[in-house]
Amino acid sequence: MSCLIEIDNLFFHYPDGHQALRDVSLHVSHGDRVGLVGPNGAGKTTLFLVLSGVINQFGGYVSVAGCDLRTSGGRKAVHQKLGIVFQNSDDQLFNASVLEDVAFGPLNLGLEENEIRRRVDDALASAGLGDEFKNRLPFHLSGGEKRRVAIAGVLAMQPQVLLLDEPSSDLDPRGRRELIGILDSLPITRVISSHDLDFVLQTCQRVVVFDEGRIVADGAAREILSDREIMLEHGLDVPLSLQIRKGGSY
């Protein structure tokens, strides 16, 4: 099967004993666009840290694009298969120019100069950033522009799957709209964690609801997000656009 992410019976607790993931099983296929929703503290970011190979002491089975994350070799190899865009772009951008930030990953792979240039140009174009951004200081960009530079940096590694942690938080309406357009045009498999349920509705076909470290619902985005009972029980609410369409049920 074309399963890109395979998680079976995943358990994880932090060193202080806090159980953050409880018996999580989730399969993501090539081309899936999955929204991961749930209240604060549900375990969304922790799950991303497991998938990106940062967390190593977990129970259960996790593999990403053929990398078995129970092994240190798998956790190392996953860096070239999976890209993560952090919630706070300032954690991800640390070079003196956009060009250097986007070229950083390919440079570390030891690729040829021409290949690096090609990857950087493709990645910038995919993230909707014209040539004029190359010499800008990332620190001086708007929130939306920073998020797009972070996405370009990850795309330059040519991953098979993209994780975005709360990508629309702290963006203004224009930045948010531009991000939706960019994600729409990217063919890559992705998992997006978000509290912004309208954003999830516009960018994902499938939704997984997380609460207290467990998956409590998994299915078609529109169906799950319009289920008021599920949403309210797990600290969420039906997205505004679905409430209005239902003819004033709110």
**Smallest separation, CB 14 to ligand ADP (Å):** 3
Q: Is 16 in the site for ligand ADP (CB under 6 A)?
A: yes
Distance, in Å, from the CA atom of 30 to the CA atom of 160, rounded to the nearest integer, reads 8
Choice from 4, 5, 20, 238 touching ligand ADP (CB under 6 A): 20
Nearest to 186 by CA among 206, 157, 170, 162: 162
Beta carbons of 180 and 190 less than 8 angstroms apart = no
35 binds, among ligand ADP, Mg ion, none (CB under 5 to 8 A by kind): none
Choice from 18, 76, 222, 246 touching ligand ADP (CB under 6 A): 18
Beta carbons of 39 and 47 less than 8 angstroms apart = no
Beta carbons of 181 and 126 less than 8 angstroms apart = no
42 binds, among ligand ADP, Mg ion, none (CB under 5 to 8 A by kind): ligand ADP
40 binds, among Mg ion, ligand ADP, none (CB under 5 to 8 A by kind): ligand ADP
Specify the residue, 40 or 57, whose C-beta has the smaller distance to ligand ADP.
Answer: 40
* Piece of the chain touching ligand ADP by CB under 6 A; list 16-24, 68-76, 106-114, 225-233: 16-24
Question: DSSP assignment of 143-178, as one string?
Answer: HHHHHHHHHHHHHTT--SEEEEESTTTT--HHHHHH
- Which residues from 33-52 bind ligand ADP, rule CB under 6 A? 38, 40-46
Q: Is 14 in the site for ligand ADP (CB under 6 A)?
A: yes
Q: Is 95 in the site for Mg ion (CB under 5 A)?
A: no
Q: Is 45 in the site for Mg ion (CB under 5 A)?
A: yes
83 strand-pairing partners: 162
Ramachandran angles phi, psi of 215, nearest 5°: -85, 125
Q: What is the crossing angle of helices 113-126 and 143-155, to 10°?
A: 140
Distance, in Å, from the CA atom of 154 to the CA atom of 156, rounded to the nearest integer, reads 5
Specify the residue, 45 or 80, whose C-beta has the smaller distance to Mg ion.
Answer: 45
Beta carbons of 61 and 74 less than 8 angstroms apart = no
Beta carbons of 197 and 37 less than 8 angstroms apart = yes
Specify the residue, 141 or 231, whose C-beta has the smaller distance to ligand ADP.
Answer: 231
* Piece of the chain touching ligand ADP by CB under 6 A; list 10-18, 122-130, 149-157, 223-231: 10-18
- Which residues from 45-84 bind ligand ADP, rule CB under 6 A? 45-46
Binding site for ligand ADP (CB under 6 A): 14, 16, 18, 20, 38, 40-46
Binding site for Mg ion (CB under 5 A): 44-45
